[in-house]
Structure 1
Amino acid sequence: MIELTSKQRKFLEKSAQPMSPLVLIGGAGVTEEQIKQIQAVIKIHELIKVKFNEFKDEKKELARAIEEKTDSTLVRIIGNVAIFYKEAEKMADRKFAKGLLKA
């Protein structure tokens, strides 16, 4: 997890706006299989959206659990969608590094 400034969060929120949620959390809650799926997807995309179809009252707790288990950063929860960011390991794969430095 990295600490983001408010400007960096705004930049990532803006970047995530046109994206569709790549992972849906349903009636089974957050399973180990979904954690693995989130880890795989965030490794490729760096910035992802996760939609909560169920557990809408518990989405903050579930989002924090996802953040810890995937070692990502929760950017923001908007409605029933959480935005997560995890910087790519290789510098060449980092899509948002320049924007985050400017923010």
Structure 2
Amino acid sequence: MMKLTLSILLASCAMTALPVMASESGADLAKKNNCMNCHGVDKKIVGPAFKDIAKKYKGNAEAVALLSKKVKDGGSGVWGPIPMSPNKAVSDADIKVMVEYVLALN
């Protein structure tokens, strides 16, 4: 009986030590939040291709913070005259996952 109790206790401790994984990937979040309506992975639609964004910001240590702010607040002038709409309803955590996904396409 003692062995069974110890086994159950150890198993439950091991389960609580598992890392929490993001429930959605950057690609999934980009689709869910309608980013793909204006951005393609490999081609410009209304906004620049994700791969072009990754190339432009390669090596920029501030890229995640800078692009996260642009996604949240919107912006214009960097990629042409058409402004990007703000995404105030998207959580900062989801924006960070999406931006990291885009930058990893390098």
TM-score (norm 2): 0.31
Structure with greater proportional strand content: 1
Q: Which has the higher contact order (CA 8 A, sep 6+)?
A: 1
Structure having the larger proportion of residues in helix: 2
Question: Which of the two has higher C-alpha Rg?
Answer: 2
